[in-house]
Amino acid sequence: MCGIVGYIGERDGQKLLLNGLKCLEYRGYDSSGMAIYLEKKKAISLRKLSGKVKNLEVLLEKKPLFGSLGIAHTRWATHGPPNQLNAHPHLDCKGEIALVHNGIIENYREIKQMLLKETHTFRSQTDTEVIVHLIEKFYYKDASLEEATRRAAKLLKGSFAIALFSDREPDKLIGARCGSPLIVGLGDKENFLASDVPAILDYTKKVIFLEENELVVLEKERVKITNFEGEIIKREPVNISWTKEEAQKQGFPHFMLKEILEQPQVLEKILEQRIKDSGIFFEELGSSSPVLLSKKLSQIKNIFIVACGTAYHAGLVGKYILESLCRIPVLAEVSSEFRYHSSFLIDKDTLVIAISQSGETADTLASVRQAKMQGAEVISICNVLGSTLTRESDAVIYTHAGPEISVASTKTYTAQLMILYLFALYLAVLKETLSKDRINDYLEMLKQIPPKQRQILSNLKIIREIARKHSHFGSFLYLGRNINYPSALEGALKLKEISYIPAEGYAAGEMKHGPIALIDEYRAVVCIIPESKLYDKMLSNIQEIKSRSGKVIAIASEEDRKIKELVSQVIYIPKIEELFSPLLVALPLQLMAYYIAVKRKCNVDQPRNLAKSVTVE
């Protein structure tokens, strides 16, 4: 959601900032802009407009900006429509300060009213413009830009990551964060600001992740970090291990397809890291972990899983896994709901598992903070090193899925599932709910998942043809039972995210309690029916759909003859124990959504109105 890039150094600022914005396009946005200090004119000049970064690039070709200090931004509209006036950067009244902002300022109306009384004039409808005017208010009272920013930041309520500079202090670039991510990149006689790592990977791999309520001053050869009280903070940079190439398409038409196809190798990497000598290893949860120092995992009596979107669906599968293997009550909640009605159930015997691809999901972070206030221990499952969630959790299990650029999560979903399976088996060992032989059997089954996924991915042509045959349907219903009920929810979410087709996921047993009224020849129904103890019940559901002229697509186990007699459109997956079937079912569901969206000529990687990281409530 929105993207920030900032630069101070000796290079061509326009070229560097534009490249950074292109690397952040996956985050979702509807306008873009850039401000650069023009050294010859000793003034700030900016270019901004609605639409994609390519529009900004065309504008800059006609009206270039020459300088080596600047900021750039991609905006996802929250306050005011996506037009040129509301696009970032924003300037103060005198045009001497330029600022970009991610997040939402909750008290902007009150601040704006105060500033209007002081004769400030506003050009946009955004909450962001209030920040630059508030900084201006303090800046012209003999405060440095650093101190003016600090004073303003302490008055803001909500979430923000900001980057700014002034033509009165053209040797400084300033950033600050509260609730929205911001990173510092360290170079040789140059330094960078960005909202995410891909924006600066072409130039440096040395990164400092700013913490909550921190401000940074960047000069060409120096970086200073303080808190909002002005106290100096020392923090060592981390080295980013993945490459820019890993975040590029590598010849694929879309990032989403590339990331779907990467899933077997991602899961192999997780298994190699976690399974050694028939044992399950989570070094993060060892004797040095605060989780085990304060409370043995074997003694926990219940688990809460909090997450949003696709991560929530992974959490729902996790509920089935943990309850089945560990014999412990598990409640999986959407983070935005957990905060307001379930958190009071937490006590000292509760473990909270927070799941987030980005580690910056606002509602999940708020849930974690609420849980910790009530004494719960928090383990997070996350893909992004140094993200806010990982810093605020008691222990972190990284998925190590590599950068996921497409807005619709695919490989991070199955990586989250694999971590949940392994964690459940790890906990089953501690709680002694499974025999060693049974655990070894399950580990062997998990090791078979990557080759079975590759088998599915060898049938892309079949899945593509089925998807294209059904791309004209106006709505879809997804049905699943037991552990594949969450798979139905996830399949429906994928389709609606990237193809804009209305889709619902339902527990198949609930079909007769309402959804059956919608079934006719205009609706396609995706039935998840792998070999399972509820197979015959799913067959009955399919017969009921067929009798009402519904068009059925079945995802079934190979060698299933019964389904072929009943349904003409079948996507087969390799046989697997029902418990582990979501790891296979996910792939045809993702590919179905992908090929339907491509057929409908949708923007697969950057669907409208969506952002990769939802950093505001």
In a domain, 615, yes or no: no
Render pLDDT for 148-166 as a digit per residue (tens, 0 to 9). 999 999 999 888 999 999 9
- Partners of residue 174 on adjacent β-strands: 164, 217
The verdict on 379 and 505 lying in the same domain is: no
Alpha-helix runs per DSSP H in 556-615: 561-566, 582-599
The interaxial angle of helices 53-62 and 13-23, nearest 10 deg, is 170
Render pLDDT for 208-223 as a digit per residue (tens, 0 to 9). 999 889 999 999 999 9
Active site residue 2: yes
Q: Chain centroid to CA 296: how far?
A: 30
In a domain, 294, yes or no: yes
The verdict on 417 and 476 lying in the same domain is: no
In a domain, 609, yes or no: no
Question: Which of 138-142, 184-188, 200-204, 490-494 shows the lowest mean pLDDT across its residues?
Answer: 138-142
The verdict on 211 and 262 lying in the same domain is: no
In a domain, 77, yes or no: yes
Residue ending a domain, choose from 424, 447, 470: 447
Give, for 359, the enclosing helix (H) or strand (E): none
What pLDDT score was predicted for residue 297?
Answer: 82
Q: Give the amino acid at 83.
A: N
Whole-angstrom Cα distance, residue 204 to residue 24? 16
Active site residue 537: no
The domain tally of the chain equals: 3
pLDDT classification of 289: cutoffs 50, 70, 90:
low
Render pLDDT for 522-563 as a digit per residue (tens, 0 to 9). 788 999 999 999 989 989 888 888 878 778 999 999 989 899
The verdict on 547 and 512 lying in the same domain is: yes
Measured in residues, the chain has a length of 617
Query: Which residues, 6+ apart, have CB-to-CB distance to 46 below 8 Å?
Result: 33, 34, 35, 36, 65, 89, 91, 98
In a domain, 610, yes or no: no
Render pLDDT for 273-283 as a digit per residue (tens, 0 to 9). 899 877 888 87
What CATH number is attached to the domain comprising 406? 3.40.50.10490
Mean residue pLDDT across the chain:
90
Instruction: Work out the average pLDDT over 589-615.
Output: 86
What pLDDT score was predicted for residue 295?
Answer: 55
Burial class (CB in 10 A: 0-12, 13-18, 19+), 42: exposed
The pLDDT of residue 294 is above 50:
no
Q: Which residue has the higher pLDDT, 284 or 304?
A: 304
The verdict on 202 and 303 lying in the same domain is: no
The verdict on 158 and 83 lying in the same domain is: yes
In a domain, 604, yes or no: no
Instruction: Work out the average pLDDT over 167-181.
Output: 93
What CATH number is attached to the domain comprising 126? 3.60.20.10
The verdict on 198 and 285 lying in the same domain is: no
What pLDDT score was predicted for residue 468?
Answer: 93
Q: Is the dihedral of CA 509, 511, 514, 515 positive or negative?
A: positive
The pLDDT of residue 184 is above 80:
yes
Q: Which residue has the higher pLDDT, 492 or 247?
A: 492
The verdict on 465 and 535 lying in the same domain is: yes
Whole-angstrom Cα distance, residue 364 to residue 390? 12
pLDDT classification of 248: cutoffs 50, 70, 90:
low
Residue tagged active-site, from 22, 48, 295, 612: 612
* Residues 173, 8 contacting (CB under 8 angstroms): yes
What pLDDT score was predicted for residue 198?
Answer: 85
Render pLDDT for 385-415 as a digit per residue (tens, 0 to 9). 778 888 888 888 989 888 888 889 999 999 9
What pLDDT score was predicted for residue 233?
Answer: 96
The pLDDT of residue 609 is above 90:
no
HSE-up (13 A, CA, CB side) for residue 536: 1
The pLDDT of residue 104 is above 50:
yes
pLDDT above 70 covers a percentage of the chain that reads 94
Most confident of 262-271, 503-512, 517-526: 262-271
Q: Which of 312, 497, 330 is nearest to 417 (CA)?
A: 312
What pLDDT score was predicted for residue 298?
Answer: 79
Residue tagged active-site, from 2, 326, 382, 602: 2
Whole-angstrom Cα distance, residue 358 to residue 412? 10
The pLDDT of residue 291 is above 60:
no
Q: How many CB atoms lie within 10 A of CB 537?
A: 14
Give the position of tokens 């060898």.
458
Q: Which residue has the higher pLDDT, 578 or 81?
A: 578
Residue ending a domain, choose from 382, 412, 447: 447
The pLDDT of residue 506 is above 60:
yes
Residue ending a domain, choose from 222, 240, 258: 240
Give, for 533, the enclosing helix (H) or strand (E): none
In a domain, 49, yes or no: yes
The verdict on 24 and 97 lying in the same domain is: yes
Burial class (CB in 10 A: 0-12, 13-18, 19+), 433: middle
What pLDDT score was predicted for residue 287?
Answer: 47
In a domain, 190, yes or no: yes
Instruction: Work out the average pLDDT over 594-612.
Output: 87
The interaxial angle of helices 108-117 and 128-139, nearest 10 deg, is 50
Render pLDDT for 217-247 as a digit per residue (tens, 0 to 9). 999 999 999 999 999 999 999 888 766 666 6
Question: Rounded to two decimals, what is the model's pTM?
Answer: 0.72
pLDDT classification of 351: cutoffs 50, 70, 90:
very high
Residues spanned by the domain of 102: 3-240
- Token duo for residue 63: 């009206």
The verdict on 203 and 255 lying in the same domain is: no
The verdict on 372 and 306 lying in the same domain is: yes
The verdict on 226 and 269 lying in the same domain is: no
Whole-angstrom Cα distance, residue 163 to residue 586? 39
pLDDT classification of 617: cutoffs 50, 70, 90:
low
Instruction: Work out the average pLDDT over 421-428.
Output: 94
191-194 and 206-209 strand pairing = unpaired
